[in-house]
Structure 1
């Protein structure tokens, strides 16, 4: 590392809270699937800011929409109307088939908003006794970092010394429809679940799982809340991951790619029953639904569709997955993926996945480890076949490398 890179990293360590452990690279520029560090080295981004940069770094049409709106009006708060919010509502509802939209900023805010909304629905519509509402979640979930959310996490790293936590959550195994059926009671208001568990290592449920989940939720008048903050907007090769099993959630949570990486934008999408319970003053956000966010999100959704990124994710994801499965390496325990949401899980004896990510950095690829043994691979949806093949060559070399 050059002295300037070391200085950047040392300054971060001196002044910043140590709540992240980044790979030792300092990035300064991005375009499409590529990013460059402060020394001019180029890397293929295989994380996409946890799927937030699905449309590629600094997409020119999203950038243009942001600059134009920034010159006109950035923030009014929801105390007043603005000329972008209604258009955002109309366009996201048309794209996703939703009836009601609640705009927020971060993914965690969308999750918290959904929890509040389904509880309110449970008390005012379903008739659950006050204070008794239950929400079912899955083990190894990741829905954000707020206090409410980490209270129902099963990851000790996210929970330790942050309590006491709010009650009202039941935890069941992911992918087990029988466990869901057993957990439901008359006080159950919702089942909150990721279609694919991303942070847990791209864990895909068995085929037919969500079809059965949908049946159980409908039969028991339970709101199915799908956290599509990572999986949504094309990442899995469909607009929404729920489409792989032909179901519809009652509440869908979007974020990350909703702004193409330019600005924090999230949304709770639902039916009239759930979001219709909210009244003025009961929930809000100063920045939620601001005109700059809406203009950016409108452009981000538009390029996703107009430039065929969802279809490209399906094609290139299949190519990438097949190529990863063809790598013959004793280090690999399993390869998983859907669309461009992929993972390589290593055998424990191969050592920590982080050292493989650090080796990939030396070959021009930035990827991220999770849960010690798994390398996540999630490039922008604009990746080409040639770029997939280029990445596969370097992954194959790295995964067969002897670190002893």
Structure 2
């Protein structure tokens, strides 16, 4: 049955250029829903074509956000959401984030409230400091599903809460505003693969499965949004992402000073999860990933690097090619073999976060790369999101150094 469903997703996938710098929003647009001004005719034409697909059909569109490229369909349309799951080969009990262009759109389209006495009435007080400072941006909050909700049950995975955010990327905001539909959008990749940060990544994974990809250039953040749950006490950071745990605690006010980090390592069979990225294998290249994680201690750097080198040499004896992705400590001359590929993820946590998925994809798509060795970083600041993705990519192949 599933194979027959997959066969219905057959398209000549178009890639259309859009220029984010030609899209302008007023300062209050994310509150009142005013439409953008678009100065480039090609960008406006391509955005309108994508918005029509979202608004008037059951099909999906690949589009850039500040975090990663998303695969979008109407959050209100069962068939659109099912087509997201089918295009990605994504488990249907993995909930989706609804992206809105404004709080006005959230009120009208999800809560069914055309006129409200207070535009913020559906944003619980616990979130107000965060949304005021961090929306638009890579912050996702959990809200109760309204009693007369218009959301597809496939968007929420039939749960009592739904996840929502207002992206800051001008292309994403304009697409949602012009379609005037909340857009359910996971990352635009085949399920379990590293998330896409370029339109070419989306095309590689989803060519023939979706009709259209908007190419708005490289994503700036490089990992998915931070997901928080303020409906529980103490509040929880469910998924680290574009905003750090430290930023959430600092900007959330007193309610968030005791914010905890969800630390479940495994999810039981049949257990429901409240946000994407918690239950299934994620972010994994086809090649085996081995993650070196720093353990601290008194061992000097040269000894630690010598141990890493010996470990790599033991594991590459029977491989065709291998790659080493370094961050802060691994030197480029540490491993010198003709079948070895060396890449630097960056020299700051922000650079590492931005480059992570693109580098994983680059070396994984090279010919006959069997193992990717990655140097991990400390779990501070952006490191929490980076190591969250790398631990999932490496599964159990984690070595302390």
Higher RCO, 1 or 2 (CA under 8 Å, sep at least 6)?
A: 1
* TM-score, normalised by the number of residues in structure 2: 0.30
* TM-score, normalised by the number of residues in structure 1: 0.30
Structure with the higher fraction of residues in helix conformation: 1
